Amino acid sequence: MRARRTQNFPRAVGGCVHDKPVSDMRVIQGGSEHCDILSTLHGTGFSKPWGSEEFAALLGQPGVAAWISESNEPSGFILVRAAADEAEILTLAVIPEQRKIGIGALLLKTACEALSAAGTKQIFLEVSVKNTAAITLYQKSGFARRGMRTAYYGGGKDSEPVDAIIMAKVL
């Protein structure tokens, strides 16, 4: 895990608060000022972290939006891209010490509600067939399996390619 997680970020406008299931957790809209935090959070969930400049580039694209959960410190985030009346989840992660208390579900709910309010009708994602935690989270959040992408992930020197499941939810 990368070390820098104590940085505070502004209480953003446009965020929303959910009372359950994690009552002390706020979810705020992420912006260009949060790229370092987003990169650090991403590094806690994936072996190839995206740099803050990658987040800056993504957040500069039309339709791309992020939400960050925080209580005393940032605990997770979701990044989505909307186009016309569809959207895709680009990435989602919760820091290891705060997993399994409902933050992933809260981030998904926040993104889906905001996207729906902005006119998105359906949201898609790809998830590794090996990622049981994420698949279960998505299923419990109302996503259904729509197809497969063979050898979608990896396939480097030291790893075999891994298939992805395509999932979707009608909002």
Angle between helices 35-43 and 52-59 (to 10 degrees): 120
Q: Which is nearer to ligand COA, 6 or 47 (CB)?
A: 47
What SS3 state is found at 88?
A: strand
Query: Residues 120-134, buried b or exposed e (16+ Cβ, 10 A)?
Result: beebebbbeeeeeeb
Compute the least distance from the CB of residue 137 to ligand COA, in Å.
Answer: 3
Q: Looking at 87, 92, 111, 165, which residue binds ligand COA (CB under 6 A)?
A: 92
Task: For residue 133, state whether it binds ligand COA (rule: CB under 6 A).
Answer: yes
Q: Looking at 99, 116, 124, 163, which residue binds ligand COA (CB under 6 A)?
A: 99
Which residues are CB-contacts of 132 (< 8 A; sequence separation ≥ 6)?
A: none
Compute the least distance from the CB of residue 70 to ligand COA, in Å.
Answer: 13
- Bridge partners (DSSP) listed for residue 168: 124, 144
Q: Which is nearer to ligand COA, 100 or 121 (CB)?
A: 100
- Among the listed ranges 3-11, 49-57, 112-120, 126-134, the one in contact with ligand COA (CB under 6 A) is 126-134
Compute the least distance from the CB of residue 56 to ligand COA, in Å.
Answer: 21
Q: Are 95 and 40 in contact (CB under 8 A)?
A: no
Closest of 109, 1, 98 to residue 45, by C-alpha: 1
Task: For residue 102, state whether it binds ligand COA (rule: CB under 6 A).
Answer: yes
Binding residues vs ligand COA (CB under 6 A): 45, 92-94, 99-105, 127, 131-134, 136-137, 140
